[in-house]
Chains A and B, each alone.
Chain A
Amino acid sequence: MFEQIQETTDVYKKVLNGLSVRQRVFANNLANVDTPNFKRSEVLFEDQLSRTISQQKGDSFPAIPISYTNPLHFSLDDYTPYIQPDVIVDKDTSYRNDGNNVDIDLEMTKLAKNEVTYSAVAQLLTGKIAGLKYAISEGGG
């Protein structure tokens, strides 16, 4: 049972991590909204995350297993591998004459969405911990 708790909180932790990297990248895009030849970046981690989650459930998504020689060695089968959010630079578009492709309206909207998503996930995590506390205290005060 503890593995399940560990797994869910791990997923939450990775989501919050990815969202905070995304926040930093949006802040950078907005700070450079007037810099000539600046190309906006974005963060992609949802695909990676869903891949690692389905890896845990045993779906047939191609995964690279950790090999070990001795069965007593720790395997990584029951631990979500570390994911590094991808920061990619969107070089293909050019929105203005000065080579800058930051669309201020799009960035602000994505920023707002990111903030709300972060709050939602933080709230889910808090709810999970509150549930655990309730179970520990056996429903008492």
Chain B
Amino acid sequence: MGFLSSLKTSASGLTAQRLRLDTISNNLANANTTRTLKGGPYKKQMVVFTPITKQYSPFSLAAYTNAATLNINKPDDYNGGVKVASIVDDKRQGKLSYEPGHPDANSDGYVEYPNVNVVTEMVDMISANRSYEANVTAIGASKSMALKALDIGRA
């Protein structure tokens, strides 16, 4: 309880945003990849975030004197941070470009490029950056509060 769970929550936010940034970097690096192992051009990847429900261990429940007031099975009791549920491909078709000499051209001479919009990815990257900074600030605040609590009663 206390500050440790808040640090874990913020850490989960940091991890999730970092993974999102990694996905964005991957999308940007593969913005022109016309050939993948699965066949076809690279498809943009997206992360799916979902909140984590708070997990109560049996020991912490036993130690908590008012365990009856904890709403353990309340479906809205999201208090544990965020996690990445999955990384999914955006299956929309990318733009087709008429290049009959390209080795990956189809029978009509069109090459399908990845459906990565560089501008969108850059904006996502800024957003991920800002969210990461917000979580770092939250960790700093939790830590400073905990340290201040340790100073109570110190001579």
Contact = CB atoms under 8 A, between A and B. Distances in A.
B17 interface: yes
Interface size class of B (residues with CB under 8 A): 35 or more
Overall SS of chain B's interface: helix
Interface residues of A, number: 38
B144 A31 contact: no
A130 B148 CA distance: 16
B49 A36 contact: yes
A33 B66 contact: no
Given A31-B12, A34-B131, A104-B130, A122 B149 contact: yes
Contacts of B142: 23, 27
A126 interface: yes
A35 B144 CA distance: 27
Overall SS of chain A's interface: helix
Interface of B: 2-3, 5-7, 9-10, 12-13, 16-17, 20, 49-51, 66, 69, 76, 78-82, 127-128, 130-131, 134-135, 137-139, 141-142, 144-145, 148-149, 151-155
